[in-house]
Amino acid sequence: MLARQGLISDERGLLIVERSADAAPLGTVTWHAVSHGPNPESRAWNIGIALVPEARGHGYGVEAQQLLARRLLATTQVNRLEASTDVENLAEQRALDKAGFSREGVLRGAQFRAGGWHDMVIYSLLRQDVSAERRG
């Protein structure tokens, strides 16, 4: 589907994360639409990130997710961004905390991966959270 529609459609997107100093590619960020009700206003973006191993642990994960969040709030109408990660993925949980996301809870048995069901922690960032941060 991505190949046919390009890397960004109304339902999803993918961008390359580059280091600004030298344009080295560090990984990708993605987003896809999730719906919390039948009306368009109840649509949110679920974001994801994967950095290449050499790029991890330098703070790029925090910055890339902050930049993606800012871009999605500026260019679309959604009120809510969300991100979920395995309960064992402490690096991503810390990165989301530092990027300003709030931890909401655990989605039990939500993701099937590597032959089994995994519990996921869900985080969110609302439009009002970013406005409050700018004001405060």
Rule CB under 6 A: say whether 124 interacts with ligand COA.
no
Q: According to the binding rule CB under 6 A, does residue 89 interact with ligand COA?
A: yes
* C-alpha pair distances (Å), 98 with each of 92, 101, 112, 114, 132: 10, 7, 27, 28, 16
Spatial distance between the Cα atoms of 104 and 97, rounded to a whole number of angstroms? 11
50 touches ligand COA by CB under 6 A: yes
Say if residue 113 is exposed, middle or buried (CB neighbours under 10 Å; 0-12, 13-18, 19+): exposed
Binder among 17, 47, 61, 82 for ligand COA (CB under 6 A): 61
Q: Which of the stretches 7-15, 39-47, 49-57, 124-132 binds ligand COA when contact is defined by CB under 6 A? A: 49-57
Of the candidate residues 7, 8, 24, 90, the single one contacting ligand COA (CB under 6 A): 90
Residue nearest to ligand COA (CB): 61
